[in-house]
Structure 1
């Protein structure tokens, strides 16, 4: 179809949803079914064909069929069906006003939080290493507590630094260091106290999912006080195991045991690409596009990086046998189209881990092997009633793992405020629990009833969250953790199914314990636009701070689930069924790389 004279990069539908990525506006007669020629390197979202990409626009609003895509919400269908657009437009205007009011209420919190954080970390710019970690806030009550603590700590730290820093810096740098330390101390009073006076933010926005009958008092948002009370109560009751399960180590050692406050002293996890490497990546994009293959054919051979390849293989070894994570920095996102950024992301990743995992089994209502997903707030375009995963909200994501060996995230854009990416060492957390609460190692290594959010014959599976690998001739002793909190307590529109047995008090305590120890020992990777973050998903678990977007700046990540057959850890027997779902039967021809955000079946009430 020929491109008409007027063009745009997006269009707004009558419901207020914006369809990004449109490179033209077709005539109305063509909107029902149109095809865009994207060249020989394009891909159909359904069948992997490289001739064209189908854009499913549908009939006029009031004549649409239900379930156009797997992200449409039943409640809106009920409102739309049979209604004249004149009346539905009033509903849209009411919803729009609601979004405007909700956004306006967030503005003072967002500005205050951003200002507080900027002032809080300003002393690090002049090498002040005494700045405290950012405060954990899970709601308004904890925000008030954090604000009081922050003010007191800020006042104490500022006054202390004014007296201590001149002495400390003078010892290192001599007479002139005394004056340098004096100025640094003065800066601490100026920045730390007002910064910490302003510390307040709310990190959970989505309404709490209702608990099924018999479920302990626990929700997706961890509550520190409830955790402490539950732990004290269970310890008082007694009869808890005092030794570790047979075979489990008292302590793990190695590079995978690290703490957020000190890991940067010995490990630089950021690999910054230089101009020569970036040019090599651009040449690889041109080479792949010239092959005329669908995106599922992206491999180390079809995306050649002759000079960078050895470094990427070294980083894969670091992922599996070193510290378990790294960040590739410097990709020029704005210089490329969305499709080219996907090619770059999958192409680089193919040198690190050759296998791409299946993240969804359908797309646009049809069977598909979806290997790329988008992590983005979709509450502005989707009714909250359909979203059952924090990945599609601005909420804080608590500590968890994804599925499979490796989880990777590519930042196309960061948020206007918040959204820090946090990583924690499973091994460091294991060592803490093993030394202080061996009974919880029993709990984590026993069978749990884990909900299956996608449609299945059985809505839950039984498996342990923690697995032990004994040492062999070729590999050291290891433990691996795989879990997501929402699979046991629900989130948003997907509460825990009442037909699934409730979790126990011991399991509730275990979930809180690994989360709060993750917070204690985590590192912030300073995720920036153009970064690709790779995580050993068996040895590292991760979280995300709540964040705020603006119309101009919306946090948008791409995600791949990967596996490197050369370096991969053995798959525990209890987890093999899940690995088969991820990696078996995924062919180049069947792989789908959606270029626009959508809600995966596992996070969608309308699945």
Structure 2
């Protein structure tokens, strides 16, 4: 997957012209970015190219890099309109946190600040445990994980002075490798691990749910994983500790991801689209240099896809809806209190 280039889509001059025309259309109407719909952002022939992007994401490699939007030509406000409008042609936009954000600016906001703002707990040794969301908004490394949506999209506006490289890994490759080496531990990974909703729905800090790392339905694989949520579940009273077999399986799983991973460098104007069911993603730490215009900024969209795969019934605890093509995922806006 890493050596093929079928997942790279070069935007043509005609494609950029279509984006410019759609942007001019919504700006003439004074439309805010979050009010843009597919119908209000007409893309002409580019919309047909995006059909092929959806197909590659679901039935191909599970990843696409769209290159290259001339980000230097637009203000950040214009880029949000352009990106959101394009996203509306790909899928259904989802809330990414319990504050109702449909697009998130991914930048270094400072670990001490984001912990207080987006979730942290004190550990028994007086350390600080950050929520997954808070970690995203620091400049630290991000471990391999998946997001709570069919497809996550990142538009690179500016890249860091150093680091911030995207790390990717195919979940089917991990599944098949573990099946060959340790089928006994693959069976464990297909059984539930407890996760915490810490940092997600309002009032959910003490809510945990069981979910396997791997699931199969109708011959389609899905994998949902974030070590942070598994670790956070240990802070919740009543959650059973992991068994020795679960710990061994998790260690093998993590080592296999690292072994099979590869890197993708995003340049300004690139859009990375990943199918979370079949691709894990992470990030190397980074250092900004704002004086040189090298302070990392990405715009993130979470998308539910109209051509998505069916999920196992037990995945409804996280996704709510599991049928193929259903609008699913994202963060609910209602308060979720522990039972």
TM-score for both structures, normalised by structure 2: 0.83
Distance 1:516 1:576, change over 3 A: same
SS at match of 1:359: coil
Q: Could you tell me how far apart the structure 1 residues matched to 2:97 and 2:195 are?
A: 18
Tell me whether 1:339 sits opposite 2:77 in the alignment: yes
The answer as to whether partners of 1:401 and 1:482 remain within 8 angstroms in 2 is yes
The answer as to whether partners of 1:357 and 1:583 remain within 8 angstroms in 2 is no
Report the Cα offset of residue 347 of structure 1. 1.1
Aligned partner of 1:557 in structure 2 is: 298
**Equivalent in 105, 115, 119 of residue 374 of structure 1:** 105
The answer as to whether partners of 1:376 and 1:393 remain within 8 angstroms in 2 is yes
Tell me whether 1:459 sits opposite 2:207 in the alignment: yes
Aligned partner of 1:447 in structure 2 is: 192
Task: Give the aligned CA root-mean-square deviation in angstroms.
Answer: 2.7
User: Any residues of structure 2 matched to 1:426-445 within 5 Å, and which?
Assistant: 426-445=171-190
Q: Which stretches of structure 1, 4 residues or longer, exceed 6 Å deviation after superposition?
A: none
Q: Could you tell me how far apart the structure 2 residues matched to 1:374 and 1:513 are?
A: 33
**Equivalent in 10, 25, 39 of residue 301 of structure 1:** 39
Report the Cα offset of residue 458 of structure 1. 4.8
SS at match of 2:55: helix
Q: Could you tell me how far apart the structure 1 residues matched to 2:319 and 2:86 are?
A: 23
Aligned partner of 1:28 in structure 2 is: none
- 1:52-98 superposed Cα distances (whole Å, 9 cap, x missing partner): xxxxxxxxxxxxxxxxxxxxxxxxxxxxxxxxxxxxxxxxxxxxxxx
User: Any residues of structure 2 matched to 1:105-116 within 5 Å, and which?
Assistant: none
Distance 1:298 1:547, change over 3 A: same
**Equivalent in 409, 421, 430 of residue 154 of structure 2:** 409
Aligned partner of 2:165 in structure 1 is: 420
**Equivalent in 240, 245, 250 of residue 506 of structure 1:** 245
Which one has more relative contact order, counting CA pairs under 8 Å at least 6 apart?
Answer: 2
Report the Cα offset of residue 574 of structure 1. 1.8
**Equivalent in 24, 36, 39 of residue 286 of structure 1:** 24
Gaps of 5+ in 1: 1-257, 363-368, 471-476, 592-600, 602-607
User: Any residues of structure 2 matched to 1:9-28 within 5 Å, and which?
Assistant: none
Report the Cα offset of residue 509 of structure 1. 2.8
SS at match of 1:412: strand
The answer as to whether partners of 2:196 and 2:205 remain within 8 angstroms in 1 is no
**Equivalent in 76, 84, 94 of residue 357 of structure 1:** 94
SS at match of 1:529: coil
The answer as to whether partners of 1:376 and 1:555 remain within 8 angstroms in 2 is yes
SS at match of 1:361: coil
Distance 1:338 1:269, change over 3 A: same
Tell me whether 1:531 sits opposite 2:273 in the alignment: no
Report the Cα offset of residue 568 of structure 1. 1.0
- 1:92-129 superposed Cα distances (whole Å, 9 cap, x missing partner): xxxxxxxxxxxxxxxxxxxxxxxxxxxxxxxxxxxxxx
Report the Cα offset of residue 391 of structure 1. 0.6
Report the Cα offset of residue 585 of structure 1. 11
Aligned partner of 1:578 in structure 2 is: 318
- 1:150-189 superposed Cα distances (whole Å, 9 cap, x missing partner): xxxxxxxxxxxxxxxxxxxxxxxxxxxxxxxxxxxxxxxx
Aligned partner of 1:26 in structure 2 is: none
Q: Could you tell me how far apart the structure 1 residues matched to 2:308 and 2:113 are?
A: 38
Report the Cα offset of residue 426 of structure 1. 0.6
Distance 1:417 1:320, change over 3 A: same
Q: Name the structure where strand makes up a greater proportion of residues.
A: 2
Aligned partner of 2:127 in structure 1 is: none
Q: Could you tell me how far apart the structure 1 residues matched to 2:166 and 2:24 are?
A: 32
Aligned partner of 1:540 in structure 2 is: 279
Q: Could you tell me how far apart the structure 1 residues matched to 2:312 and 2:101 are?
A: 25
SS at match of 2:49: helix
Aligned partner of 1:482 in structure 2 is: 224
The answer as to whether partners of 1:407 and 1:561 remain within 8 angstroms in 2 is yes
The answer as to whether partners of 1:488 and 1:503 remain within 8 angstroms in 2 is no
The answer as to whether partners of 1:448 and 1:464 remain within 8 angstroms in 2 is yes
Tell me whether 1:313 sits opposite 2:51 in the alignment: yes
Gaps of 5+ in 2: 121-129
User: Any residues of structure 2 matched to 1:68-217 within 5 Å, and which?
Assistant: none
Report the Cα offset of residue 379 of structure 1. 1.0
Q: Could you tell me how far apart the structure 2 residues matched to 1:583 and 1:293 are?
A: 25
Tell me whether 1:519 sits opposite 2:246 in the alignment: no
The answer as to whether partners of 1:466 and 1:480 remain within 8 angstroms in 2 is yes
Q: Name the structure where helix makes up a greater proportion of residues.
A: 1
SS at match of 2:85: helix
Q: Could you tell me how far apart the structure 2 residues matched to 1:463 and 1:576 are?
A: 9
SS at match of 2:113: coil
Q: Could you tell me how far apart the structure 1 residues matched to 2:98 and 2:114 are?
A: 23
Distance 1:384 1:462, change over 3 A: closer
